[in-house]
Amino acid sequence: MINDKRNFAFAIFLITVFFNIASSKNLKCKFCKNEINGRYITQEKNAYHEKCYKDHIQLKCDHCKNIINGIYNLKDEKSYHQQCFINFVLDKCDVCYQPIEGEYIKDPWGNIYHNNHRSKMPSCESCNRLISKNTTDGGYRINGNRSVCNICRKNVIHDKNEIKNIYADLRNELKILGIINLPKTMSIKLIDTKEELYRISKIPSSNGLQGYTKYNYQTFGREKINENFTIFILSNLHEINFRAVLAHEMLHVYLFKNDISLRESLVEGFCNLGSKYVYDSNIENKISELKLKSMYKSNHPEYGKGFRIMDSELERYGWSKLLKKLESY
Ligand SMILES: [Zn+2]
Ligand SMILES: [Zn+2]
Ligand SMILES: [Zn+2]
Ligand SMILES: [Zn+2]
Ligand SMILES: [Zn+2]
């Protein structure tokens, strides 16, 4: 994902200086206004004493403070030797450390890259950083097509007990909002590939699916019996991302458990309020900020537009009122 593309504008100038010997009288120095005898310098048709020129007129490099002859660069009204400019003034690429001239990409973490690295390097599924030795200390791949950077690696979820605790935590937090009747424990399975998740969910692979809830029950007369939930979530997600996906799936369970039939097109939007809740609770982490941003920008009819409808309803009514009037949507 390209976040910021900029164009560097800098000017390259050439000064031409001529050395002359004064032959006519009445030649005056443009700087000190005194008469010139002997050697003098002209630049842009103005004459200067050599010393006046060197001390006051001649361009100096703003980086090394030495005199500039010939080609130089100008940036923010400061002049630089071309080499000083390239080596010390131009921003350096955070991937290859080489100076950046022309277009570059800036990621939300403040890294800047040459444009061409994007197509050649994977980016991290959780934080969207370009994965390289210099930006993320490398990273790893999961089954070939998912990538995690080594910064996020420390925070990915893989431990069964950790998952149990996160579920219990979230269940308590959601209960406070009025989301009740969630099972005390839940079977939560980690899935390595998106293909596997699509296969289980039978949801076409076009959206960024990261979790799915499978719901089985038998009926006994009008009663549901032997209800059975399994939540599938992608493995190796950053903890914040994992919590957000889990909260989303827990809202699906809430709808099932409480027999709430929300209008079909608003179901995913409502469940995304769970993700939003998690990101809001961890807003100091940049990943939350990025994920929220993309939820508010998403054009998906359910996960994006549906979410924004439910979000403005939540703003308006608050959790407890919204939960009471869910059936009316
Ligand atoms: Zn002079
Ligand atoms: Zn210089
Ligand atoms: Zn580079
Ligand atoms: Zn990352
Ligand atoms: Zn969903």
CATH label of the domain that carries residue 49: 2.10.110
| The predicted structure's pLDDT at residue 11 | 57
Please check whether residues 170 and 302 belong to one and the same domain. Answer: yes
Q: Which long-range contacts (CB under 8 A, 24 or more apart) does 224-228 make?
A: 227/256, 227/257
Please check whether residues 171 and 233 belong to one and the same domain. Answer: yes
Domain closes at, from 138, 153, 168: 153
Q: Ligand 4 centre and the CA of 232: distance in Å? A: 21
Please check whether residues 185 and 112 belong to one and the same domain. Answer: no
**Ion ligand 1 — residues with CB < 5 Å:** 29, 31-32, 49, 52
Query: What pLDDT digit, counting tens, does each position of 141-166 carry?
Result: 998 789 999 999 999 999 999 999 99
| The predicted structure's pLDDT at residue 23 | 67
Half-sphere exposure of 265 (CA within 13 A, CB side): 8
| pLDDT lower than 50: segments of the chain | 1-9
Asked, for residue 130, whether it belongs to a domain, the answer is: yes
Q: Ligand 2 centre and the CA of 326: distance in Å? A: 68
Asked, for residue 4, whether it belongs to a domain, the answer is: no
Residue-range definition of the domain harbouring residue 47: 9-87
Please check whether residues 130 and 241 belong to one and the same domain. Answer: no
Domains identified in the chain, total number: 3
Please check whether residues 310 and 296 belong to one and the same domain. Answer: yes
Asked, for residue 82, whether it belongs to a domain, the answer is: yes
Please check whether residues 260 and 317 belong to one and the same domain. Answer: yes
Are the C-beta atoms of 12 and 71 separated by less than 8 Å? yes
Q: Ligand 2 centre and the CA of 29: distance in Å? A: 27
Query: What pLDDT digit, counting tens, does each position of 253-299 carry?
Result: 999 999 998 998 899 999 999 999 999 999 999 999 999 999 999 99
| The predicted structure's pLDDT at residue 235 | 95
Asked, for residue 1, whether it belongs to a domain, the answer is: no
Task: Specify the pTM.
Answer: 0.79
Please check whether residues 80 and 105 belong to one and the same domain. Answer: no
CA distances from 222 to 78, 126, 255 (A): 81, 43, 18
Asked, for residue 3, whether it belongs to a domain, the answer is: no
| The predicted structure's pLDDT at residue 5 | 41
Asked, for residue 2, whether it belongs to a domain, the answer is: no
Please check whether residues 37 and 174 belong to one and the same domain. Answer: no
Q: Ligand 4 centre and the CA of 230: distance in Å? A: 27
CA distance 71 to 55: 20
Please check whether residues 54 and 122 belong to one and the same domain. Answer: no
CA distance 236 to 124: 11
CA distance 36 to 127: 67
